[in-house]
Structure 1
Amino acid sequence: MRLDKVDLNLFVVFDALYRERSVTRVAQRLHLTQPAVSNALNRLRQTFGDPLFVRGTRGMQPTPVAEAVTADVQRALGLLQKSVGGHHNFDPGDSGRVYRLGMNDLAQGLVLTGLHQALAGAAPGVSVQAYYPGRESSVEQLKAGDLDILVDVPQLNARELEQVQLGGIPYRLAMSANHPLAAKTFDISDYLAAQHVHVSSRARGRGQVDLALHNQGRRRSVKMRVQHYAVAAAVTTSTDLLWTAPSSALNYPGLVVSDLPFEVEALLLNLYWHRSADQDPANVWMRELIKQQFDLGLLNVAGSGA
């Protein structure tokens, strides 16, 4: 393929089709007519000698050839955008951008308060929508541009994603002030004899704490499994259940927090973004801001003793 024979605007259509999976939505996104998008797709098919996108039950699905070239196309478009606009295209102080951040309530609690304060001073027009899309759909949402950035455990290895480790949050133990163990020195036997509440976004499966116990040939009694840390905190303060969680989740009134009587590896969190946004000045800026607030959040947790 000779580039001097190819209209580079076709690759913009290619990228939009890959993200939107709909000729209609691509036309709306690029401010083109539907026939113009269809014509561009036909020219792309001739260029590659492949259908590239075929109709399916979930819209226009990429062929293996399209999947194979997408990462390179998106990276090239990102580099072109950087070359044309550079960092002058994004001024946080003048921006009204809405950032969509994928985070569970643990990461939200650690980052968002500081992030809001930072935005109020440096970028008052910027706003944030934070939600957890679930691990299964995170990659697709980053691909489609529905998410700008994701914070999650290091289990996503899709080749079209970039990632960097944010850090680790140590696990600690929380209980009600009225719990029998709150007033005594306890050991692993006391821990295993008690009943527990566990937080997980999944319906089943072992979490990091239970895996650590399993590797030691031990097992605890989980009497309640919930999806949100705030719910676990409410349950723990008013029952005799023990709650083992990352320390940043335990800063609630009425909880007595102590060290665990066994070793558990810290919960690692990574920052993810789509490869096409790697050089996007607005995305780079927000990634750096999240990194800063994550570090500050960990310092605040350590200082509070949670």
Structure 2
Amino acid sequence: MQLQRIDMNLFPVLEAIYTTRNLTRAAEQLHITQPAVSNALARLRRTLGDPLFTRSPTGMAPTPLTESIMPRVQEALSLLGASLSEHRHFVPQEARKTLRLSMNDMAETFLLPRLLEVLEQEAPGIAVESFQVPREQLVKELAANTLDFALDIPVPTSPHIKQQRLMSDRYLCMLRQDHPLADSASLTLEQYLKLEHIHVSSRRSGPGLEDIALNKLGRRRNVKLRVQHYRVAPLVVLRTDLALTVPASLAQQYSARLFELPFQVPQMDWHLLWHKNQHDDPANQWLRNKLVSLIEE
């Protein structure tokens, strides 16, 4: 039987009759009239093709079909009630939900250990899924509620998307400690351009912020390796003569030689994005505040 053919408003009536075993008491429990209960039961009988209840000396006795479906019906009604209650009054310790985040591997490294530590203590029923959604798909996923938040650089979005700036991160050039240029006091533009570089991007092609800045100077660097993830790139630097232009917050985690860039590159701004439909949701507000506070730390 197709679920869309069933009037879901009838199932609370079914549950009330099952609990009270009496049409009048079911009506009182639901705050409706007894004829309205009888009418709802008649509609359910026609829809399901079963009497559902039969009269007996002890009241309305459930049929085998009713007995078989009631545990699931009661579970579904309970889950729906809990969801509606959570929407009105979010209690972190009682929450049961999955938080879905879009971010890259660098953001995962910074955020997830701290986030899971907080959730374990304050909201143990919240699970977390982290994956990276392409920027052109972010608006669609947030609108469809298949994604709760995105951590990304500021990108053009629709008026339906809310965003908050979290932090800024400047770029540095990273070389291994015993690189031939490691003893230099600073790095010149010509030295930078003579190096072979690692470029980090989840896309198969396209420039980075440093490439765009060099293009404005009429210059171009030599990209030797293109990788998807920031976490693997420093490991390559530590074993080769390749250079990596990388956010300072990541570069400073490694024992490497770090140089200020010899040209101007805009800082990397991290933004938190969410859909405006979720803006006033208590659960979204609580999680949003936690994410912001963790990043600010």
Shift of 1:251: 4.4
Q: Which amino acid aligns with 1:35?
A: R
Equivalents in 2 of 1:116, 1:220: separation in Å?
40
Matched residue of 1:233: which SS? helix
Residues 1:87 and 1:147: Cα distance change in structure 2 (over 3 Å)? closer
- 5+ residue gaps in structure 2? 8-83
Is residue 106–residue 231 contact of structure 2 (8 Å, CA) maintained in 1? Answer: no
Q: Give the aligned partner of residue 209 of structure 2.
A: 208
Q: Give the aligned partner of residue 133 of structure 1.
A: 133
- 5+ residue gaps in structure 1? 1-23, 28-32, 38-83, 297-306
RMSD: 2.2
Shift of 1:232: 0.9
- Higher helix fraction (1 or 2): 1
Equivalents in 1 of 2:122, 2:138: separation in Å?
29
Equivalents in 2 of 1:195, 1:36: separation in Å?
65
Does residue 1:225 correspond to 2:195, yes or no? Answer: no
Shift of 1:224: 0.9
Shift of 1:85: 5.5
Matches within 5 A, 1:103-142: 103-142=103-142
More displaced stretch, 96-105 vs 134-143: 134-143
Instruction: Compute the TM-score of the two structures, normalised by the length of structure 1.
Output: 0.66
Q: Give the aligned partner of residue 167 of structure 1.
A: 167
Matches within 5 A, 1:180-195: 180-185=180-185, 186-195=187-196
Matched residue of 1:229: which SS? coil
Equivalents in 1 of 2:164, 2:106: separation in Å?
18
Matches within 5 A, 1:5-154: 33-35=3-5, 89-154=89-154
Shift of 1:199: 0.2
Shift of 1:138: 1.9
- Give the number of equivalent residue pairs: 220
Shift of 1:91: 0.8
Q: Give the aligned partner of residue 256 of structure 2.
A: 255
Shift of 1:195: 0.8
Q: Which amino acid aligns with 1:109?
A: T
Shift of 1:86: 8.3
Larger Rg: 2
Equivalents in 2 of 1:269, 1:152: separation in Å?
5
Is residue 102–residue 149 contact of structure 2 (8 Å, CA) maintained in 1? Answer: yes
Equivalents in 2 of 1:250, 1:129: separation in Å?
26
Equivalents in 2 of 1:258, 1:91: separation in Å?
47
Is residue 175–residue 258 contact of structure 2 (8 Å, CA) maintained in 1? Answer: yes
Matched residue of 2:166: which SS? strand
Shift of 1:279: 0.7
Q: Give the aligned partner of residue 52 of structure 2.
A: none
Instruction: Compute the TM-score of the two structures, normalised by the length of structure 2.
Output: 0.68
Equivalents in 1 of 2:118, 2:259: separation in Å?
32
